Chain A
Amino acid sequence: MPMYRLFFVTYFAILCIWNVQAQNSFRFKADITTKIKNTDGTFQYTKGSAYYDRNAKKIIYNITFPQKEIYVSIDTLVYKYVNNKQESVMGNALKPEFSIYHFILNNDISDFGLKKSSFSVGNIEKADDLIITKWIPPAGNNSFFGNIIVSTKSKRLNSVLIYNPEGVLVNRQIYKKYKSVNGVEIPTEILTITYFGGVKKYQIVEFRNVVINEAGNDLMYNFNVSKI
């Protein structure tokens, strides 16, 4: 086989393997730490493990600190378990399929999942080494969100700025310390500032020991909320 043909065949084979690998990512597991500084100066520290299966569409948090608890997020509800007993049910506006875990597994994280949403691209600009995209909400948008500014650095999500419909900045996020696990790009540190008028709430989320496509442990990934 001539050299140039061998080169093209190898090139396309690598591209196909990369694509198939990214498409086949369906499970995410990581040790997770969440630190929050509230607007009144108090702190919240939560530590545990997160499990997400793209097909089951359930996020399971096995929390070890402050207390040993399990939280299961399904659709718009979160079930809380203590000592294997369901203790309460909470409302949650963020469905699992719109979570960062879903975006990571779907390779949608670089645009913050907005490409598949009702938002449209308003403008794109290059500043320093960042590609900045302005996403505008659909006309007649009555939600909490206004424009969203997403920046990428070397094709990786770098920051997200969320404005309210009045054009006031309400949330800033920065995605750092990327690691590639099984061909999936994962930001292992997410820093957030939420603005409430003149006061700020800070949050740091860290992922450690990330596992993609863990085999077994099915009962945890597809936690049956009615079973216990």
Chain B
Amino acid sequence: MKKFLFKSLSVSLALLLLNMQSFAFNLKSTVDFTSTEIEATTDFNDSEIYEAFADISTLDHYLQTNEDKTYSDLELEDSSMLAGVSSTTTLPLSSSASDELALGIPSFLWGCVFGIVGVLVVYLMTDENKDQTKKAFFGCIAGSLIGTVLYVVVFAAAATTATTTY
């Protein structure tokens, strides 16, 4: 009995030592907590979040019992439940669906290569996504600037060549 207990104690102490070593390795640089960081953690008032959704509680309860209903169904049945509710899907716990790309091609490229037509394509294919349309628009401006600069350079070069010839 005594021998067994000694063995168990030795194994436990060895494991503890190993654990403490890895813990100490992780704590190689200590950065103090600020009082606001501790307060922000301990005083997290979740009632603020629940209250923010009070306006859609009717919709929430309705959809718990009517699982197959879609936004279009509710628009026909009782659109009052959809007041202020967007018809776009948001993926949970993701970096948002606002990064939608038209045909998987970056919006800036659409605008840069196809100009105003590219902007229109992005606007329509990303369900009128403002962020992506803006990127396409910046692409369009960049494309136009590059085009203008190239035109001026080529025109100037051509004019210089013509002058030299005469």
Q: What is the interface of chain A, defined by CB distance below 8 A to chain B?
A: 2, 4-5, 8, 32-38, 41-47, 50, 61, 63-69, 71, 73, 77-78, 80, 88-94, 99-100, 120-125, 127-128, 130, 132, 134, 136, 147, 149, 151, 159, 161, 169, 172, 174, 176, 190-193, 202, 204-205
Contact = CB atoms under 8 A, between A and B. Distances in A.
Contacts of A120: 26, 28-29
By secondary structure, the A interface counts as: strand
Nearest to A73: B94
Interface stretch (B39-47, B111-119, B137-145, B157-165): B39-47
Given A66-B87, A78-B97, A120-B26, A132 B49 contact: no
B60 interface: yes
Nearest to B57: A35
Contact of A43 (B41, B46, B85): B85
Interface in B58-114: 59-60, 63, 67-72, 84-95, 97, 99-104
Contacts of A8: 8
Contacts of B55: 43
Contact of B88 (A66, A125, A136): A66
A46 B91 contact: yes
20 contacts: A2-B1, A43-B56, A43-B84, A43-B85, A44-B90, A45-B85, A46-B91, A47-B67, A64-B67, A80-B100, A120-B26, A122-B29, A123-B33, A127-B42, A134-B33, A136-B31, A161-B41, A174-B46, A191-B50, A202-B49
B128 to A, nearest CB: 13
Q: What are the nearest 10 A-B pairs in CB distance?
A: A122-B31, A66-B71, A89-B104, A91-B99, A34-B92, A93-B95, A90-B100, A202-B52, A121-B26, A44-B90
Interface of B: 1, 4, 8, 26-33, 37-38, 40-42, 44, 46, 48-50, 52-53, 55-56, 59-60, 63, 67-72, 84-95, 97, 99-104, 125-126
Contact of B92 (A37, A46, A80, A202): A46
B85 A44 contact: yes
Given A50-B92, A90-B100, 12 more contacts: A34-B92, A34-B93, A35-B56, A37-B53, A43-B56, A63-B89, A64-B67, A68-B70, A88-B103, A99-B93, A123-B33, A147-B31
A42 B126 contact: no
Nearest to B126: A88
Contacts of B99: 90-93
Contacts of A88: 100-104, 125-126
Given A64-B68, A88-B102, A134-B31, A202 B89 contact: no
A65 to B, nearest CB: 6
Given A88-B100, A92-B99, A121-B27, A205 B94 contact: no
A161 B93 CA distance: 15
A190 B49 CA distance: 11
A99 B92 CA distance: 10
